[in-house]
């Protein structure tokens, strides 16, 4: 049983289980995804405070505040790239949101909704590749879909159209800023981080630690 729990994961359709095997979660998958979620939940608390400090200087052009969103999209993309299981993005990101809430997030319960929506956006990126590819293209795609989901939720809840900033004058630059931030932090930095961890040998039980993506 213990041997089965830590056997290397695979996304190679030619190997036993094929693509269908990707959906089978192992104990090590659950543990690592949970650890990622908890770790990022702690990081979120620090980022909330930092974001409040950086938000005011950006008041001269509010749409640019979308650049602050990327860090909150990292756990979903990183979990998907590392664990390579359907639902990994949602699991890690939603857990991160709950941990952040329990540690005193100033945003209250809405952060759990954000955790679910943002990570569902990242999950969509992996779903579009049918969980077959985990290289640069998929990392960027998952980051883009995560950024778009965040933009839609933000623009629906917090940034209604006003006379000062008409719909396209705010919506477009805010969405571009959020997606750009997500691509750079969640996509590029996220994949580089997974590769860096893989080089240490810590991911030997995962396909991410055995293949160059």
pTM (two decimals): 0.82
Q: Is the pLDDT of residue 54 over 70?
A: no
Residue 19: pLDDT band (50, 70, 90) is: very low
Flag whether 212 is in a domain: no
Percentage of residues of the chain with pLDDT beyond 70 = 79
Domain that holds residue 65: 2-205
Measure the CA angle with vertex 43, ends 41 and 47; round to 5°. Answer: 115
Domain count of the chain? 1
Least confident piece of the model among 7-16, 38-47, 58-67, 77-86: 7-16
**Overall average pLDDT of the 106-134 stretch:** 89
Flag whether 108 is in a domain: yes
Flag whether 213 is in a domain: no
Flag whether 77 is in a domain: yes
**Overall average pLDDT of the 166-193 stretch:** 92
Q: Which residue blocks in 56-189 are alpha helix, DSSP H? A: 74-83, 88-102, 110-128, 136-157, 167-182
Q: Is the pLDDT of residue 11 over 60?
A: no
Give the orientation angle of helix 88-102 with respect to helix 74-83, to 10 degrees. Answer: 140
Query: Using one digit for the tens of pLDDT, what is the confidence trace for 146-176?
Result: 999 999 998 888 776 555 666 677 889 999 9
**Overall average pLDDT of the 92-110 stretch:** 86
Flag whether 104 is in a domain: yes
The tokens for 2 are 């213990």
Q: What's the CA gap between 124 and 96, in Å, rounded?
A: 18
Flag whether 211 is in a domain: no
- The domain that holds 26 is classified in CATH as 1.10.1760
Flag whether 13 is in a domain: yes
Flag whether 187 is in a domain: yes
CB of 145 within 8 A of CB of 122? yes
**Overall average pLDDT of the 19-38 stretch:** 82
Average pLDDT, the chain: 82
């Amino acid at each position: 049983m213990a041997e089965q729990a830590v056997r290397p994961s695979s996304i190679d359709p030619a190997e036993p289980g094929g693509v269908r095997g990707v959906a089978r979660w192992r104990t090590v998958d659950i543990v690592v995804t949970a650890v990622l979620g908890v770790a990022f939940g702690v990081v979120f608390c620090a980022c909330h405070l930092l974001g409040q400090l950086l938000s005011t200087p950006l008041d001269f052009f509010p749409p640019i505040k979308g650049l602050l969103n990327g860090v909150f999209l990292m756990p979903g993309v990183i979990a998907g790239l590392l664990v390579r299981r359907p639902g990994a993005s949602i699991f890690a990101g939603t857990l991160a949101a709950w941990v952040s809430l329990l540690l005193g997030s100033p945003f209250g319960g809405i952060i759990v909704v954000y955790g679910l929506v943002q990570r569902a956006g990242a999950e969509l990126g992996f779903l579009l590749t049918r969980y077959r590819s985990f290289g640069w293209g998929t990392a960027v795609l998952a980051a883009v879909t995560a950024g778009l989901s965040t933009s839609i939720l933000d623009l629906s809840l917090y940034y209604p159209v006003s006379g000062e900033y008409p719909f396209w004058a705010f919506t477009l630059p805010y969405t571009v800023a959020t997606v750009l931030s997500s691509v750079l932090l969640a996509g590029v930095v996220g994949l580089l981080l997974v590769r860096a961890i893989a080089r240490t040998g810590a991911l030997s039980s995962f396909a991410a630690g055995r293949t160059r993506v």
